[in-house]
Amino acid sequence: MTAEKGGFDHFMLKEIHEQPKAYRDTMRGRLSDDGRSVALSELNITPEQLRGINRVHIVACGTAMHAGLVGKTVIEQLARIPVETDVASEYRYRSPIITPDTLVIVVSQSGETADTLAALREAKRCGARVLAITNVVGSSVAREADDVIITLAGPEIAVASTKAYTSQLIAFYLFGLHLAQTRGTQDEAFVANVLAAMQALPEQVEKILAQAETIKGIAESISHHRSLFFIGRGIDYAVALEGSLKLKEISYIHSEAYAAGELKHGTLALIEEGVPVIALLTQEELYEKTISNIKETKARGAHVFGIYNEGHEAEVAKSVDRQFAIPRTLPLLTPALSVIPLQLLSYYASLALGHDVDKPRNLAKSVTVE
């Protein structure tokens, strides 16, 4: 069994460490020879059809839905198309406005989640074109979609998804750039610049993984708390939601993710002496705003752990209690780095509490019933 786990104690830890490879594998063969443009040759959708899309719906469950929340920002910013992200179990029942010019993107690690598959079928019935982002070739979702981008994360065994999530992010970056190139919303130099930054991500993830011990110490200190909060703005909020889910899934500690600016509209009432707050601060243009939200929690006694871009050490130190820097990348790409310390945090918190990390209570890897 240890051999299957590649020398790691748990599949989750092994899969967290496989992310640099998963990023490289998911990018491999999908860039032009000079690496300056995207070449998604597996897609059947024509450039003309891509130019005709007027709205995008991203539909998924759990962690895959959280990748879809990042995907929304990626597609809107790169290709300037309005995007909605929805949980699959809600999508079908809210009479979504689906037209032949709607592209529905379903995201599913397994490709077998019942609600996601049902949403795909509903989208097709309404005449939309469906693109699947999935990790399993030949899965139901892959077979029934019009187009498929396979994430090359390799098999994911731990119930808590890690490398599948980050590979889904890579797929969204590639597809967002592909749309941007085709629709002419970004110029060649911009696309080349994003791709260069993407190619640096695997090494940057390795740098973060090398500091796992730092995160372990923080995880041990939060593991005794009954409740904690994740905050962030913009794309950091999407990552906060994933960090909170991961922690709940395997450590059973109650947590909530909040858009930092929304705290004062309710959640601030729950902040009292010693409550841990995990703050994401990777978006430079929202940096000052997030710092002032952190101060609001500190004033009520919160113990704040900040995750920020390297270079801001001195300023961040003034506002938080513990800190962790991620290597510098483009603002849109930060989720592919900032989620790594959060995955490690939940892993080590679960471990400290003596839970079954790979097989949490009440949860299944793939939910094939509604």
Smallest distance, ligand G6P to C-beta of residue 236, A: 20
* Cα separation, 30 vs 35, whole angstroms: 9
Smallest distance, ligand G6P to C-beta of residue 40, A: 21
Could you tell me which of 237, 327, 337, 365 has the C-alpha nearest to residue 23? 337
365 in active site: yes
Nearer to ligand G6P, 193 or 366 (CB): 366
Catalytic annotation, pick one of 124, 216, 295, 365: 365
Could you tell me which of 15, 29, 35, 34 has the C-alpha nearest to residue 199? 35
* Cα separation, 17 vs 177, whole angstroms: 27
Smallest distance, ligand G6P to C-beta of residue 356, A: 14
Q: Is 227 exposed, middle or buried (0-12, 13-18, 19+ CB in 10 A)?
A: exposed
Residue nearest ligand G6P (C-beta atom): 62
* Cα separation, 119 vs 107, whole angstroms: 11
Nearer to ligand G6P, 159 or 326 (CB): 159
Smallest distance, ligand G6P to C-beta of residue 64, A: 4
Nearer to ligand G6P, 39 or 157 (CB): 157
Q: Where are the alpha helices (DSSP H) in the chain?
A: 11-17, 19-27, 47-52, 62-79, 88-91, 114-125, 140-144, 163-183, 188-209, 212-222, 235-251, 287-298, 313-319, 335-352
- Please give the residue ranges that form the binding site for ligand G6P (CB under 6 A): 61-64, 108-110, 113, 116, 159, 161, 363, 365-367
Nearer to ligand G6P, 112 or 147 (CB): 112
Residues labelled catalytic: 365
